Amino acid sequence: MLDRSGRRSLLSNAPADARAAGYRYFANLLALRARKLPRDVVGERVESTFRDLCRELEPTVSLEIGAHEARFSRWIKADVPTARAIAFEANPHVHEKYAESHADSGVEYLHLAISQTDGPVELGIPREFHNEAKGRRYKKPRTNRMASIASHVLAEEVETVTVPSTPLDSFLEVSDDDVVVAWIDVEGASGPVLSSGAKVLSRASLVYIEVESEPLWDGQWLDDDVARFFGDCGLVPVLRDNQRPHQYNVVFASAELAAQPRMARLCNAIYRRAGASAQTARKPGKRS
């Protein structure tokens, strides 16, 4: 959009509604702060703060969707032994690789896709990519982290397998007494995954999720769409990192948790240049 003088208007790319604009302001503000630090430092601080909060909340249920080796579930089970830790991994090659290691871990490591379908779904495992813009072509093993029920726009060779699937709300019921946390990394499939679990995720106190601001998968929900969904569930974005130019992780917190003054202090600590660490203050209350 150009103004009367022919210059590009400040509002040319403005979101259409106030809630979307609010999320974009959050994402842009913290991105500016995050870029002043090494990417791995910010990523580690965001993840560490998320884990500290999870530990203090003492969840009764933890969910890891797109679990791969289920690193988060192993951690939560070790630090909060009473939690029911459920890890969903749809790629059969990955599940076979790690299933035996979970025999005595206490983690429910399940070969299941989460989607709106209750029954078999087609899972694509990208095996070869061609990035014309960068002039790169590269291959991936069957156990790569990019298996998805969505289709990657740069994938030239895809192995397709049929896997069992269930909606999250059909798989799990949570009560008012449950404290729920979730780690979600589903490679472009946020739309069908999140839509299948609105009831469960509306009970979540904390969610860590990978998002993208530009589409790499067909029909993909972008970061604004994910934020809109969690807003409808009563969750607020509180932390983010910078993984790649258009990919990052976001932590969403229940409104009750996000409104605590301590949350702002934790956020501020993440983006300090030197000697910063996310210090704990008082134990957060569970979701009411």
Give the model's pLDDT for residue 279: 45
Task: Tally the domains of the chain.
Answer: 1
Give the model's pLDDT for residue 135: 74
Assign residue 65 the CATH number of its domain: 3.40.50.150
Give the model's pLDDT for residue 5: 53
> Would 277 be classed as within a structural domain?
no
Give the model's pLDDT for residue 16: 66
Helix H or strand E segment including 110: strand 108-110
Give the model's pLDDT for residue 1: 47
* pLDDT tens readout for residues 216-271: 999 999 999 999 999 999 999 999 999 998 999 999 999 999 999 999 999 999 99
What is the residue range of 230's domain? Answer: 18-115+168-270
> Would 211 be classed as within a structural domain?
yes
Give the model's pLDDT for residue 15: 60
* pTM for the predicted model, two decimal places: 0.90
Give the model's pLDDT for residue 131: 75
Give the model's pLDDT for residue 207: 99
> Would 265 be classed as within a structural domain?
yes
SS3 for 202-258, per residue? CCEEEEEEEEECCCCECCCCCHHHHHHHHHHCCEEEEEECCCECCEEEEEEEEHHHH
Give the model's pLDDT for residue 81: 98
> Would 64 be classed as within a structural domain?
yes
Q: Are 287 and 179 in contact (CB under 8 A)?
A: yes
> Would 98 be classed as within a structural domain?
yes
Q: Which residues of the chain have pLDDT under 70?
A: 1-16, 274-288
CA angle 145, 61, 63 (to 5 degrees): 15
> Would 152 be classed as within a structural domain?
no
Pairing of β 108-110 and β 247-254 = unpaired
> Would 161 be classed as within a structural domain?
no
The SS3 assignment for 148 reads strand
> Would 210 be classed as within a structural domain?
yes
